[in-house]
Every structure is written in structure tokens, then in C-alpha cells.
């Protein structure tokens, strides 16, 4: 069985982490710059009472930006990956219920969104894409150690602390 | 220490794991007191988060202001006076005998319709008042999902029929386009539309007309308009605004040259 060395896996992890960070940063930014469209997109799911559409449309992009930022920095990677995964599950559930109820909407995952003509929906593609993102989050959940991360930087510091603490070196 | 690690490279993975677990325990035990890096990282994380999320919040607040509507619909000024007749799906204005017929298909929420109204409406209204053109409005509803709550396009189109019946169509129409709700934002309500009608001098029947709504009528009008206009176009699309000059689609209605040409040949 092929065993990849730790540094290679850390490097791959960094690619996964930064890729997922880019997904959340881009999707959050596209929603933030067009708040009217984001309200339309959230409203089109016909899930929330009218009073909650605005707050969710305002808050969701901020959560996405925060998750994206924390992923990009590589801090508390396992917990942030868990949050990212849970967010993706919620978004996939929203898309799936729209599909099941026969709504004709665009998911508005990366800006845009709202009603589309019947036959112009892309539910399978949207769900497949989200599953792909969830796989990335799953990797980080299972193996949160990545290169170029604050986590790694802190671990390196702690290692020297461990040495200073006088434990035998092996 | 690093030399020893190289020597025992066979056990490296296990050792690394142990080392990592131990170091995490140590880091946790030390808390923030001992780790300079913890402090630096914490500050860096907070700063970056504040910049990104705070910037986004500011951006949202900035955009939100632009879409706020006043509590009442400001009534438009009285423009040129032209006759208005309701004929089926269409609101026919100007001179029925004019040699130039202009059809305008509009959704009261569509931003480009608002732009078209701003650029061309004064001239169209004047030409209609002068009897040079037959100006036919087709209020349609294609953006119902784009308002909060949904359905403003249908509500406003239906109310414009009521306004035509009540004899206040020109100013009612102009008022809704002069202060047009933004897509995705809150739109004018039934009560606000009723109040506008009253301000413009509509009789008591107007309020109940707007209240009852004309959903079926607007839906039918929109379907008819969509079929008719898409049949005229090579791409078989229907969007708003669509302008027809003597039954032919005007490809670029925003450029007023087509209107110059049409009016220069128009006979009263």
C-alpha cells in the first residue's frame, strides 16, 4: 500500500484547505456585493417566514466569509472544517427540498439565484458540486494537519516547548 | 535533537504523533500565558476576521440605504394630458387615429423599464398629448419572484388597470416609475398603492379594485404578450421593456433616435 509521507499529506491538506477557503470566500463575497439579489435568492427557497429572509440573507454571506477566512488562515482547522461541513449539509438540504417540491430556482450558491424558467434548474449539478466541497471538508475533519497554517505554526512552537520541558527525545 | 530524529526515522511517524499529542496537551495546559505564538496568532486571526467580516457588514449597510423606500409613494407631477382607454389587456393612450403606434411592454419592477421611462417617457407623453401617436401600454408581470414580498409586479400591473378605469393612469404610472422599488428589496404594498390612488383623485372604487387584485387578468395579459412578442423576435424571447413601433420590435429602445424618426414622419 502506498504510504504518503507526512509532509506530502500536509501539503495536500493545505491545497484542500485553501481550495475550500476560496470556495467560501468567493461565494460569501459574491453574495455580499449584491444584497438585493441575495435576499431574492434566499426568498426563492420559500422556506423561511418573510421576517427571516432579510436576516439570513445578511448573515449567511458573513458566516461564509468567516469560515473562508478561518480556513485560509488554517486555524482550529478541524472545528472550522466541521462548521463548513455542517453549513454545506444545510445548504444541500435547502437545494434538495427545492428540487423535491418542484420549485424552479437557481441555488444562488455563488451569487445570482432566484426563480428560473421551468427546465432551467440545475439541481443535480448544484448538489454534486456541494458534495465535492463536503468531501474537502471531510478530509480536513479527518486529517486537519496542513502545511502553511496557523495550526502548524503553533504546533511547531509547542514542539520546542515540549523539548524545553525536558522530556526525553526518543 | 534533530539528529536523533533522523537516526530513529523508522519510528518517526509514531513519535511525531506522540509528540504532537503531547505538545497539544502542553499548549492547552499552558493556556495563553506561555505561548507567544498563541497571542500573536490570536491577534492576527481577530484582525483578519474583523477586517473581512466588518468590511462586508459596512458594504451591506451601504447598499441597504440605497433601496429604502419612503413610507408613502410620492405622487408624480401632472404631465401632458392625454386620453386613456382600457381595451382588453392594453391601456391605450394618445390618439386612436394617429399614423404611428407605439406599444410598450413593461413590468413595474423591471429596472430597465424604469430607465426607459426616465429617458423617453416625457417625449412619449408629449407626443401622445399632441395626438401624434397612439401609445399603448401593456403592463406585464415577469418579476413577481424578485420583490419582497413576492408579487409586486402583478400587484402593480393590476393596480394600473384600476388606475386606468379610475381616470388617473398617467400620474399613477409615472409615480410608480419615478419611485420604483428595487429588485430584491421591499416593494410598495396594497395600502400604499391605494393611498396613492386616493391622493391622485381616484374614486372609492379604486381601493377595492386594487385590493381584489387582477391576478388572472395580469397573468393572461403576460401570457398573451409573451406569445405575441416572442413570435415577432428572431430569438423567440420575451423580456421587458419591449417597444414596438408600428408592430415591429425596436431593437434598442433606449437610444431615442427611433423615436425621432417616428415622430418626424408622424401625422396628426
**Can you spell out the DSSP letters for chain A?**
-----HHHHHHHHHHHHHHHHHHHHHHHHHHHT-HHHHHHHHHHT--S-HHHHHHHHHHHHHHHHHHHHHHHHT-SHHHHHHHHHHHHHHHHHHHHHHHHTT--EE--BTB--EE--TT---HHHHHHHHHHHHHHHHHHHH----SSSHHHHHHHHHHHHHHHTT----
Cβ distance of A69 and B184 shorter than 8 Å: no
Cβ distance of B35 and A65 shorter than 8 Å: no
pLDDT mean over B77-100: 89
Range 129-158 of A in CB contact (< 8 A) with B: 145, 150, 153-155, 157-158
Confidence of residue B118 (pLDDT cuts 50, 70, 90): confident
B147: cell is: 420583490
**A158 contacts on B by Cβ (under 8 Å):** 23-24, 26-27, 35
| Cβ(A24)–Cβ(A78) below 8 Å | no
| Cβ(B124)–Cβ(B244) below 8 Å | no
pLDDT for the residue B28: 54
B88: Cβ contacts below 8 Å, ≥ 6 apart: none
pLDDT for the residue B185: 76
pLDDT for the residue A124: 94
pLDDT for the residue A77: 96
Q: Is the pLDDT assigned to residue B67 strictly greater than 70?
A: no
In order, the DSSP letters of B4-23 are HHHHTGGGHHHHHHHHHHHH
CA-based nearest residue in chain B for residue A67:
B49
Among A22, A29, A30, A40, the strongest candidate for a mutation testing the B interface, having the largest count of B CBs within 10 A, is A40
Q: Is the pLDDT assigned to residue B96 strictly greater than 80?
A: yes
A150: Cβ contacts below 8 Å, ≥ 6 apart: A73, A74, A75, B41, B44, B45
Beta bridge partners of B101: B134
Choose the most confident range, by mean pLDDT, from A14-23, B165-174, B194-203, B212-221: A14-23
CA-based nearest residue in chain B for residue A157:
B37
Cα separation, A163 vs A154, in Å, equals 14
Dihedrals phi, psi of B168, to nearest 5 degrees = -125, 20
Smallest Cβ distance to B27: which of A32, A158, A170? A158
A63 CA to centre of own chain? 10
For chain B, which residues lie within 8 Å of any Cβ of chain A, measuring from their own Cβ? 1, 4-5, 8, 11-13, 15-16, 19-20, 22-24, 26-27, 30, 34-38, 41, 44-45, 48-49, 52-53, 56-57, 59-60, 63-64, 67, 145-146, 148-150, 182-185
CA-based nearest residue in chain A for residue B146:
A40
| B144-148, B164-168, B259-263: the lowest-pLDDT one | B144-148
Asked if A6 has any chain B CB less than 8 Å from its own CB, the reply is yes
Cα separation, A163 vs B204, in Å, equals 88
Smallest Cβ distance to A61: which of B15, B19, B56? B56
Q: How far is A86 from chain B (nearest CA, A)?
A: 20
pLDDT for the residue B255: 82
CA-based nearest residue in chain A for residue B54:
A62
Q: Is the pLDDT assigned to residue B214 strictly greater than 80?
A: no
Q: How far is A61 from chain B (nearest CA, A)?
A: 9
Pick from B6, B30, B48, B46: which is nearest to A154 by CA? B30
A48: Cβ contacts below 8 Å, ≥ 6 apart: A42, A56
Looking at per-residue pLDDT, the higher value among B207 and B62 belongs to B207
Confidence of residue B13 (pLDDT cuts 50, 70, 90): low
Dihedrals phi, psi of B189, to nearest 5 degrees = -100, 170
Looking at per-residue pLDDT, the higher value among A120 and B27 belongs to A120
A89: Cβ contacts below 8 Å, ≥ 6 apart: A134
Confidence of residue B12 (pLDDT cuts 50, 70, 90): low
pLDDT for the residue B14: 59
pLDDT mean over B123-150: 88
pLDDT for the residue A165: 35
Cβ distance of A66 and B52 shorter than 8 Å: yes
CB atoms within 10 A of CB A77: 25
Choose the most confident range, by mean pLDDT, from A62-66, B56-60, B260-264: A62-66
Q: Is the pLDDT assigned to residue B140 strictly greater than 60?
A: yes
Q: Is the pLDDT assigned to residue B190 strictly greater than 60?
A: yes
From residue A118, how far is each of A99, A123, B68, B99 by CA, in Å?
Answer: 12, 12, 32, 40
Cα separation, B11 vs B19, in Å, equals 12
pLDDT for the residue B8: 46
Q: Is the pLDDT assigned to residue B1 strictly greater than 50?
A: no
What is the ipTM for the molecules in this complex? 0.75
Q: How confident is the prediction along chain A (170 residues), in pLDDT tens digits per residue?
A: 567 899 999 999 999 999 999 999 999 999 998 887 788 888 888 898 877 888 899 999 999 999 999 999 999 999 999 999 999 999 999 999 999 999 888 899 998 887 777 778 899 999 999 999 999 999 999 999 999 999 999 988 765 433 333 333 33
Q: Is the pLDDT assigned to residue B29 strictly greater than 80?
A: no
Dihedrals phi, psi of A149, to nearest 5 degrees = -125, 155
pLDDT for the residue B30: 52
Give the residue ranges of DSSP H helices in chain B: 2-7, 12-34, 36-66, 111-129, 152-166, 169-178, 190-199, 205-212, 215-232, 257-264
Among A31, A36, A73, the strongest candidate for a mutation testing the B interface, having the largest count of B CBs within 10 A, is A36
pLDDT mean over B2-17: 50
Cα separation, A19 vs A169, in Å, equals 36
CA-based nearest residue in chain B for residue A65:
B53
Signed CA dihedral, A131, A137, A141, A147: sign only = positive
Q: What is the pLDDT of residues B202-212, one digit of tens each?
A: 888 899 898 88
pLDDT for the residue A120: 81
The reply to whether omega before A163 is within 30° of 0 (cis) is no
Q: Is the pLDDT assigned to residue B3 strictly greater than 50?
A: no
Q: What is the pTM of this model?
A: 0.56
Confidence of residue B5 (pLDDT cuts 50, 70, 90): very low
Amino acid at each position: 500500500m502506498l504510504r504518503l509521507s507526512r509532509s506530502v499529506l500536509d501539503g495536500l491538506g493545505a491545497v484542500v484547505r485553501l481550495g475550500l477557503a476560496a470556495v467560501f470566500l468567493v461565494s460569501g463575497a459574491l453574495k455580499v456585493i449584491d444584497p438585493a439579489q441575495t435576499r431574492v435568492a434566499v426568498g426563492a427557497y420559500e422556506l423561511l417566514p418573510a421576517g427571516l429572509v432579510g436576516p439570513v440573507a445578511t448573515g449567511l454571506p458573513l458566516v461564509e466569509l468567516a469560515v473562508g477566512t478561518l480556513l485560509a488562515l488554517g486555524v482550529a482547522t478541524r472545528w472550522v472544517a466541521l462548521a463548513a461541513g455542517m453549513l454545506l449539509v444545510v445548504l444541500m438540504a435547502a437545494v434538495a427540498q427545492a428540487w423535491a417540491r418542484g420549485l424552479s430556482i437557481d441555488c444562488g450558491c455563488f451569487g445570482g439565484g432566484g426563480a428560473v424558467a421551468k427546465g432551467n434548474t440545475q439541481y443535480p449539478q448544484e448538489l454534486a458540486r456541494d458534495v465535492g466541497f463536503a468531501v474537502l471538508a471531510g478530509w480536513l475533519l479527518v486529517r486537519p494537519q496542513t502545511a502553511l497554517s496557523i495550526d502548524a505554526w503553533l504546533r511547531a512552537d509547542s514542539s520546542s516547548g515540549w523539548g524545553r520541558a525536558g522530556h526525553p527525545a526518543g | 535533537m534533530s539528529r536523533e530524529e533522523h537516526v530513529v526515522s523508522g519510528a518517526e511517524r509514531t513519535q511525531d504523533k506522540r509528540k504532537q499529542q503531547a505538545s497539544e496537551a502542553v499548549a492547552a495546559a499552558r493556556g495563553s500565558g506561555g505561548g507567544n505564538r498563541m497571542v500573536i496568532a490570536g491577534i492576527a486571526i481577530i484582525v483578519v476576521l474583523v477586517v473581512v467580516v466588518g468590511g462586508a457588514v459596512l458594504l451591506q449597510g451601504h447598499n441597504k440605504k440605497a433601496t429604502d423606500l419612503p413610507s408613502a409613494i410620492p405622487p408624480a407631477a401632472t404631465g401632458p394630458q392625454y386620453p386613456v382607454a382600457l381595451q382588453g389587456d392594453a391601456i391605450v393612450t394618445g390618439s386612436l387615429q394617429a399614423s404611428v403606434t407605439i406599444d410598450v411592454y413593461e413590468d413595474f419592477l423591471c429596472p430597465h423599464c424604469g430607465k426607459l421611462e426616465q429617458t423617453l417617457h416625457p417625449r412619449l407623453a408629449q407626443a401622445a398629448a399632441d395626438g401624434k401617436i397612439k401609445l399603448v401600454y401593456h403592463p406585464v408581470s415577469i418579476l413577481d419572484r424578485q420583490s419582497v414580498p413576492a408579487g409586486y409586479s402583478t400587484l402593480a400591473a393590476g393596480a394600473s388597470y384600476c388606475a386606468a378605469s379610475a381616470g388617473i393612469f398617467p400620474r399613477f404610472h409615472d409615480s410608480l416609475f419615478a419611485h420604483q422599488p428595487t429588485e430584491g428589496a421591499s416593494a410598495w404594498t396594497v395600502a400604499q398603492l391605494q393611498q396613492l390612488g386616493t391622493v391622485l383623485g381616484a374614486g372609492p372604487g379604486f381601493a377595492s379594485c386594487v385590493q381584489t387584485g387582477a391576478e388572472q387578468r395580469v397573468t393572461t395579459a403576460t401570457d398573451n404578450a409573451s406569445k405575441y412578442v416572442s413570435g415577432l423576435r428572431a430569438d423567440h424571447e420575451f423580456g421587458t421593456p419591449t417597444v414596438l413601433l408600428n408592430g415591429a420590435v425596436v431593437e434598442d429602445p433606449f437610444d431615442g433616435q427611433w423615436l425621432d424618426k417616428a415622430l418626424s414622419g408622424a401625422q396628426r
